[in-house]
Chain A
Amino acid sequence: MKKSGELQNSQQAASKKITRQKVLLGLVGVFVVLLAVLPLFASGFWMRTLTLLFLLAAMAEGWNFIGGYTGYAAFGNVAFFGIGAYGTALSMLRLHFPFFLALLVGAAAAMLFAVLVGLPVLRLKGHYFAIATVALATGVGEVADFWTDFTGGAAGLTLPFFRPIQLSNYFFYYMAFVLVLFGLGLTYFIMKRKLGYSWLAIREDEDAAKMMGINTTWSKVVAFALSALMAGLAGGIYAYWNTFVLAEEVFKIEYTLQMILATVLGGPGTVFGPFIGAFIYYILITLLVFFLPVGQLHATILGLIIILVMVFTPQGVMDFLSGRKRLTLSALLENIRTHKV
Chain B
Amino acid sequence: MSSVDVASRPQRTASLVWRGLTRSPSGFIGACIALAVMAFAFIGPLVIDSTNPSNGDKIWTGPSAEHWLGTNHQGKDTLIKLIMGGAEPLLVGFMAAFIAVGVAAVVGSLAGYLRGPVDTVALQITDIALTVPGIVLMLVITAMYRQISATTVGIIIGLTTWPVLMRSIRAQVMSLREREFIEAAKLQNLGTLRIVFTEILPNMAGYIFINFILAINNAIYALVGMYLLGLLPSTADNWGLMIQESWATSAYKDPDAFLYIFMPLAMIIIFQIGLVTMTRSLEQALNPRLREH
**Is A bound to B?**
no
Q: Which A residues are closer than 8 A to B by beta carbons?
A: none
